[in-house]
Amino acid sequence: MKKQIKTNCLRRLLTTGDGIRGYSEYVSSTEKYGIKRADHYYRSKLYQINEAMKKLSFLENAVLRETYFYEERQPVMLVCERIGMTERSYYRIKREAVEKLAFYLNIK
């Protein structure tokens, strides 16, 4: 849903010229090109993250999604309860998942 909203906003900016304005209502081709590049960069990063997440185990994937991919930050105890694991296991799996994700994304 959030991705769709961002895509719609970017599409509106590119087609109507609303939103990003300098000193006038006119949106130059350079601005449109910059927006397209930013959109492409954003989409490629999302694709890389999704592909890296697919490589993680089910538990690792669940821990990261429950911890980081909600609008509001989820308390650890709530995440542990949802997944059905102890806090100790949660922190171990989360650490391993973050390390793997960093490796897959060439961050570390």
User: Environment class of residue 97 by beta-carbon count within 10 Å: exposed (0-12), middle (13-18) or buried (19+)?
Assistant: buried
Q: What is the pLDDT of residues 27-43, one digit of tens each?
A: 788 888 998 999 999 99
Please give the average per-residue pLDDT across 56-77, as a whole number. Answer: 92
Q: What is the pLDDT of residue 9?
A: 53
For 64, other C-beta atoms within 10 Å of its C-beta total 19
**Global pTM?**
0.65
Whether 97 contacts 52, CB under 8 Å? no
Please give the average per-residue pLDDT across 92-99, as a whole number. Answer: 96
- State how far Cα 28 lies from the chain centre: 29
Whether 64 contacts 100, CB under 8 Å? no
pLDDT, greater one: 96 or 9: 96
